[in-house]
Structures are given as C-alpha cells and as structure tokens.
Amino acid sequence: MIPVQGYEGQKVAVLGLGRSGLATAAALRAGGAEPLCWDDSPEGRARAEEAGFACHDLTKPGAFEGVAALITSPGIPHLYPTPNKAIAAAMAAGVPVDNDIGLFFRSWASPEWDDFDTMPRVVAVTGSNGKSTTTALIHHILQSVGRPTQMAGNIGRGVLDIDPACDGEVVVLELSSYQTELARALTPDIAVFTNLSPDHLDRHGGLGGYFAAKRRLFSEGGPDRAVIGVDEPEGAFLANQIATAPEDDRLIRVSVSRKLGDWGWSVFARKGFLSEWRKGRQVASIDLRDVTGLPGAHNHQNACAAYAATRALGLAPRQIEAAFQSFAGLPHRSQTIAEKGGVRYVNDSKATNVDSAAKALDAFRNIRWIAGGLGKEGGVGALKEHLAHVRKAYFIGHSARDFALELGVEHEICETMERAVELAAAEAEAGDTVLLAPAAASFDQYPNFEKRGAHFIELVEALAG
C-alpha cells in the first residue's frame, strides 16, 4: 500500500466504494487522514462498513464542511453528461476534487528513496485501443530481464494498493481517459499514447474533450520522455506539441502505417517487421510475424510502443525481442483459445467498439465472425471496409439484426453465444478462424466483456475436437 501524503489529521471524502475506492480509503487512513466514505448504492456502503470505514452521506447539505478534499472513483461523472450530486456539492463548496491517480503521483516518492542506487520510475500508458496489451507487454519485458516491476491502474491492482517502491523498480500504469481527466498530479517518467478513436464521447462532451483528457498525461508536469503513436491526426498533433525540433529525441514516434526514418528517434512496423531508427539510421529490427501473442497490425503497434518505452528505460533490443517471444497476450484480447480440427478459436471480447473490432478482423484470414451485443452510438457501418476475410458472420445480442442490416455480410442471426459458437464450429473448415470480436458492449447479456469472453472460452473448450 502507498500511504497518501499531505492529508495527515484531515478529513477526506471518498466517493465510490469499489476496488479503487476502498484501496483509496485504506491508503488515506495509512497516511494519517480520516476517510469519509460514500457510495450511492447500499451494497457499496456495506462493503466500506465491513472494512471498518465510516460512511458519511455526501449528498446532504453541509456534508463538505471541514472536508479537505473529495477523492472520486473514475467511473463517476463530474462534468458530462451530468455531474454526480456529491461532486457538484464539493465543487460548490470549493472542495478540491481529485482521484486515486492524483494521490498516487503526490505520494509515490518517499524518504527511503534517498538510499536507493537507482531511482524508481513510472511508465504510464493511455490511448483508445491497445493500452492494456501495451501496459502488460512492458511489464512482461521488465519481468523477463529481472527488473523489479509492478503493474497497476486500469489493469491489475489499484494504484494505491501496490507495494512501496524498491531500488530501481518500474511501475507500469494503464490510465483511462476517466483517470487522466481529473487527476491533479500526473508526472510519469515515461508517458505512452497508443492511438485515438471515438469512445466515451458522452462522458467527455465529444471527441475533443476525449482527446483533451488523454492529452493531460503529457501536459500536466510533462514526462521526461514521450512515446506517441502518430498514425492519427491527434497523435501527430501531440507529437508536434512536445518536440522542439525534428531531431528532439525526448519524443519517440511510433507508426504501423509508414516508415519513420527522418526523426531523432522512431519505432515503426511494416510488413511484420519492427524497426528502430535514431538520427537517420536504423539501429535494430525484429521480425514480429511469428510472435503468437501479438497477432495483427494492431498488436504490432502495441509491440512498437512497448519496445520504445523499454528502450527508453535502457533495455537492449535483443532482450526485448526475447521477451516478445514469451508473451502470451492478454485474456479477451486476440487470445487464441484452441485449435480444433485445423480451426483456430480466438477470443477478442475486449473489442467493444468499431475500431478495435476492425483491427481484429484485419489480423486473421478465413474468419467465422461472432459479433453483436449492445451496439454503440454511430453504428458499425465503418466495418464494411474490413470484411474481406469474413466468410460468414454470426450475430448475437440486442443489436444482432441492426448489425445484419447495416453490414450486408453473409450471416446468421444467432441471438445467443451458445448458438453462434455451435453453428460457427459446425460450418468451419480447416484453416478457418472462429473470431469473437463483438464491436459492441456486453451489457445486454453479460455484466462485462470478461464474462462474455469467459462464456465463449467455456463453449469452445466443450467442443469435440
């Protein structure tokens, strides 16, 4: 646990009592503060009371008298589409609003660091797609070379729940737009921006607000080195804002769409090969084509970003290449479940939007595509350009018929995952890939994408093969 600094002897309100909220309350108490906990649900309040925390109704008049700060969980809206009542009350009372990410960055360093030979460092990863895989890959590479490391944030443990730093340790954080938008301190040593595609637009008041939330990771204090995917206009803009000249190697540009050889430092992938260039010459190359844990161009982008970040930490190209080969990938993200009768079964339940589904569809050949769920705003028409390798689609969930009408691909309306897997497996031939890439949220049939993916895995494992 990281004891929170700066609030000793003060009352600090904590809103939202899920995993990160309870960890925040514990870290505040460990730092000498008095946490006042609240959750809009009785279940959340019961969890806090069971953990020994006092509940304090933050929606009542005068609730913020004598309160030094409000720490809110990332999923609770503070601006769009409508501010939570407790957050609005805190702002009206002039009480600073922060989150656990802000508390982490103000509390991470400790006096014990004076005795370390090598200062601990923080790598923070944000973006629309690929940030979980990139974060996990950086963590895996560090583990493979014996570097002390912890992984936290939007993946793994809550940031305040990790252990205090040891000599030379690297903490790798995945940060969502919800987390970067509100944190009052954002000071990573290395910051990574993977890419940008429309998502969470209602929460951020549009695409501009969404990008602005991501951009804060690079503007609030500024990292020592930035790794920026430049294949979208927003990434190119961000890179331009950071660099003082083309040769500025505090910035590492990343691409999977073109060669980047004319900058101070760049990493790009073309035709399955990763290349690192510095000051106009190539210094390293890695063949990614047979790295089973990183299939497709979207994962090659993740590989480039992780490579760049770990090179910035001083690792050698061959160390990174060896770690790539042992990376198994993340659950529910282009995860190969089984091969039965020459048919490959891939679980990409995390592909909840059009952009991530498109990347999955581009990564495989001879696809039997399972898609659908609770469709998102804007529809799935953009996927028409990515259907060349789809032999047949099997649509499930609330939006099954909408997907069928919008895409015009050969399909079957299956409604349920059971029927989709049964039919796709029966019709698949050797060399085919049965791919779950829903392009939709899971909430019509499952509580989250993990449960959806787990159900797919269960059904695949039950197939005779």
Residue 359 known to bind ligand: no
Q: Which two tokens stand for residue 431?
A: 């060399």
Residue 128 known to bind ligand: yes
Residue 16 known to bind ligand: no
Q: What is d(CA 241, CA 310) in angstroms, rounded to the nearest whole number? A: 23
* Strand order through the sheet with 67-72: 34-38, 11-15, 67-72, 97-98
Alpha helices in 183-316 (DSSP H): 201-204, 207-219, 233-242, 296-312
- From the list 64, 66, 65, 90, the residue with the least C-alpha distance to 76 is 90
Q: What is d(CA 43, CA 62) in angstroms, rounded to the nearest whole number? A: 24
Residue 130 known to bind ligand: yes
Q: What is d(CA 180, CA 366) in angstroms, rounded to the nearest whole number? A: 39
Q: Strand pairing of 251-255 and 97-98?
A: unpaired
Residue 129 known to bind ligand: yes
Where in 138-280 does DSSP place strands (E)?
A: 149-153, 170-174, 190-193, 225-229, 251-255, 265-270, 273-278
- Count how many Cα atoms sit within 13 Å of the Cα of residue 456 in the half-sphere of its side chain: 35
Residue 353 known to bind ligand: no
Residue 205 known to bind ligand: no
State whether residue 432 is helix, strand or coil.
coil
Q: Which two tokens stand for residue 58?
A: 């933050």
Q: What is d(CA 28, CA 208) in angstroms, rounded to the nearest whole number? A: 34
Q: Please list, in sequence order, all residues whose beta carbon lies within 8 angstroms of the beta carbon of residue 52, skipping any fewer than 6 positions away.
A: none
Q: Strand pairing of 225-229 and 190-193?
A: parallel
Place of tokens 């796709």: 424
State the CB neighbour count (10 A cutoff) for residue 93.
Answer: 13
Known binding residues are 127-133
Known binding residues for ATP are 127-133
